[in-house]
Structures are given as C-alpha cells and as structure tokens.
Amino acid sequence: MKLGAFSISLSVKDLAVSKSFYENLGFSVFAGGMQQGYLIMKNENALIGLFQGMFEGNILTFNPGWDENAQNLEHFDDIREIQKHLKSRQVALGSEADENSTGPASLTLTDPDGNLILVDQHR
C-alpha cells in the first residue's frame, strides 16, 4: 500500500516563532503563507506543516499521488483502494472517502495512542 508523501502537521501557538525555530533547523518555506495562518516547511525530503488556530493537536499526514515536492506521481494507490484495504483489516476509520467518487478525497483514523492520521488525496 502506497500512502504517498508524508508530513507532520503541527498545531502551533505562534506561527512566526515556530517558523524561526524550524528555519534554525534548516527548514525553509515551501508553501502556504503567514497571512493564511499556515506554512509548509521543507528540509530535503522532510516536510512539516505549521498551522496556527486551525486544529488542536498534531496530525500525521499522507498524500497519495504526490511526492515530497507536491509533484504528481505517475503510479499511486488511490485513496479508495487504501480505504478498502484498511477496512479489510478491520481498521476503524474516523471519516471515510466516498467509495463511488473519483479524484480528491480524504479519510482519517486514529492510532492506538490517540494520534490523528489524515490520508488526503489532492488529485
């Protein structure tokens, strides 16, 4: 099962302070903007999303169909196939993709320690 690009989405208290901290670790802004309330930061193939006031807690994020540069992959597992696989393994889903749809969709699940996982297909 190919889940696509991985990033962690962090709920931050102060976007400017967090931006500066991660810049000191060698990350640079890849997408988003201060005025939008979020930044996607990149260090080689490591991605961190910084989100102020958008959600509580942190989220592990996978993007089927994308590589770590948000470029389309030629071959990838569609989110509906991933969902069928998870359901066949009796994995409880918090939200589901419409199995009769195509294109962009998402699903969520929670790991045994309460960490939220978002599988978010953009294409």
Question: How many angstroms separate the CA atoms of 104 and 120, rounded?
Answer: 8
Question: How many angstroms separate the CA atoms of 18 and 12, rounded?
Answer: 7
- Specify the pLDDT at position 82: 97
Summarize the confidence of residues 83-104 as an average pLDDT: 97
Summarize the confidence of residues 82-88 as an average pLDDT: 97
Residue 120 has pLDDT above 90, yes or no: yes
Which domains are seen in the chain, by residue range? 5-121 (3.10.180.10)
Contacts of 14 (CB under 8 A, 6+ apart): 52
Question: How many angstroms separate the CA atoms of 24 and 19, rounded?
Answer: 9
Question: How many angstroms separate the CA atoms of 92 and 14, rounded?
Answer: 33
- Specify the pLDDT at position 52: 97
- The per-residue pLDDT for range 50-62, each reduced to its tens digit, is 999 999 999 999 9
pTM attached to this predicted model = 0.86
Residue 71's pLDDT band (boundaries 50, 70, 90)?
A: very high
Residue 88's pLDDT band (boundaries 50, 70, 90)?
A: very high
For 44-62, the DSSP string reads TTEEEEEEESS-SS-EEEE
